[in-house]
């Protein structure tokens, strides 16, 4: 198993990955899975001797395609739940967030907005 250094898409930082069962080449963009289950996208720079913390998963044509396929939830650090007080009792209600299709066909939940008018928004 070989180790490589990658440039993480949209972060201008480096990470160290192993090729897993794949064959990596410099200039290729892959999604990589970490020990905690997190997925990152990055472009292979060169071979390395540093201990890896991610493994190659899927080859993509570029950072845009990789990010579009792996980014599922956008947020602006907004509150996900809504606190409702009724008769001096408070309960937490999950606020419905808009769901739309991203540039590469993946489903995206927009965490910094709330759907108005019920489960289907204003058109319900």
For residue 10, give the DSSP letter.
Answer: T
Ordered by start, the domain boundaries in the chain are 3-69, 74-123
Residues 52-91: tens digit of each pLDDT: 988 888 899 888 888 777 765 545 545 455 566 666 666 6
| % the chain with pLDDT above 90 | 15
At residue 38, the pLDDT reads 74
- Place 45 in a pLDDT band, splitting at 50, 70 and 90: very high
Task: Give residues with Cβ within 8 angstroms of 19, minimum separation 6.
Answer: 1, 2, 4, 55, 56
Determine the pLDDT at residue 28.
Answer: 93
Q: How far apart are the first and last CA of the chain?
A: 54
CA 45 to CA 57: how far, in whole Å?
17
CA 55/CA 20 separation, integer angstroms: 6
Q: How many CB atoms lie within 10 A of CB 4?
A: 25
Residues in Cβ contact with 102 at an 8 Å cutoff, skipping those fewer than 6 apart: 68, 71, 108
């Amino acid at each position: 198993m070989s180790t490589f250094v990658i440039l993480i898409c949209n972060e201008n930082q480096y990470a160290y990955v192993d090729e897993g069962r794949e064959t990596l080449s410099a200039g290729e963009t892959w999604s990589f899975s970490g020990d905690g289950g997190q997925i990152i996208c990055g472009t292979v720079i060169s071979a390395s001797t540093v201990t890896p913390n991610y493994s190659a998963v899927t080859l993509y044509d570029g950072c845009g395609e990789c990010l579009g396929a792996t980014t599922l939830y956008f947020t602006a650090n907004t509150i996900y739940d809504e606190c409702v007080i009724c008769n001096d009792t408070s309960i937490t209600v999950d606020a419905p967030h808009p769901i739309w299709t991203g540039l590469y066909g993946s489903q995206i939940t927009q965490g910094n907005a709330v759907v108005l008018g019920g489960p289907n928004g204003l058109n319900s």
